[in-house]
Amino acid sequence: MNVLALDFPPVSHLFEWPDIFFSGTAYAINKTALIYLAAVVITGVIFTLAGRPKQSLVPAGIQHVAESGIVFIEESVVLQTIGPEGRKFMPFLTTMFFFIMFSNIFEVIPGIQFPANSRMAIPITLALVVWVIYNYVGIRSQGLGGYLKNSLFPPGVPVALYLIVTPIELVSTFVVRPFSLAIRLWANMVAGHLLLVTFAVLTQVLWSSTYIGAVGPFAMLVLMTGFEILVSVLQAFIFTILTAVYIGGSMHPSH
């Protein structure tokens, strides 16, 4: 009786990549950094080309992609969470959505197959940027005293309950939000990456021993790949819409 040996790579190997350029220096570049660089370049190229003069009145190609993305963020995110005055945040929210989406989608690109946001550095950095922005917007819109009052002492709450509500709001608004944003994005991409690697290893091992046995894991690998494409877009959307919700809440405390 043959026993199949699953040579599953160590988890550390799945998320740690050796330096590719400038190895051993402070400017070392690895696979994760290249993916982020590619996400920045792709996002920049799309909107640079789409913004060229003398574009067709009927969007096509890159122009259609850019305009569809802008309309989607405007109608499904900004107007739904902030309102018309939130259009001034459109460049930031649209850029962040595309950057996160492209950083995620490399998970299913053959030869790369790694979601850059499965490393915590950029998710937490983006979350801290969001934290700074919505707090700045709140202070600018309401004043420091008004912002703290409306954040820590929500109107309509009985005074006796402030002993419980105020500490909760303090932790939730000023501590938990950035970490929840970062961890949600990071954890989903880590989980998806582990699932794809698991089914890929199963497919490889079973294919080498019995072709028929590899059909099930391969079908699941294909299915999970399609699912991870959806998750990559969905996580970018969730991060973006929660950012808009936090900004809208800072501008409109009554909401």
The pLDDT tens digits of the residues spanning 159-197 come to 888 889 899 989 998 999 999 999 999 999 999 988 888
CA distances from 94 to 45, 76, 125 (A): 14, 11, 17
What residues make up the domain containing 80? 11-251
Q: Residue 82 domain-assigned?
A: yes
Instruction: Tell me the residue type at 166.
Output: T
Residue 200 lies in a domain: yes
Number of domains into which the chain is organized: 1
17 occurs within a structural domain = yes
Whether residue 3 is contained in a domain is answered as no
167 located within any domain: yes
- Specify if 146 maps to a domain: yes
Give the predicted TM-score (pTM) of the model.
0.86
Please give the residue that has the higher pLDDT: either 205 or 101. 101
CA distance 163 to 252: 24
Q: Is the pLDDT of residue 5 over 60?
A: no
Query: Is residue 170 one of the residues assigned to a domain?
Result: yes
pLDDT in tens, 44-64: 999 888 877 655 666 667 888
In a domain, 195, yes or no: yes
Q: Is 254 helix (H, G, I), strand (E, B) or coil?
A: coil
Burial zone of 121 (CB within 10 Å; 0-12 exposed, 13-18 middle, 19+ buried): middle
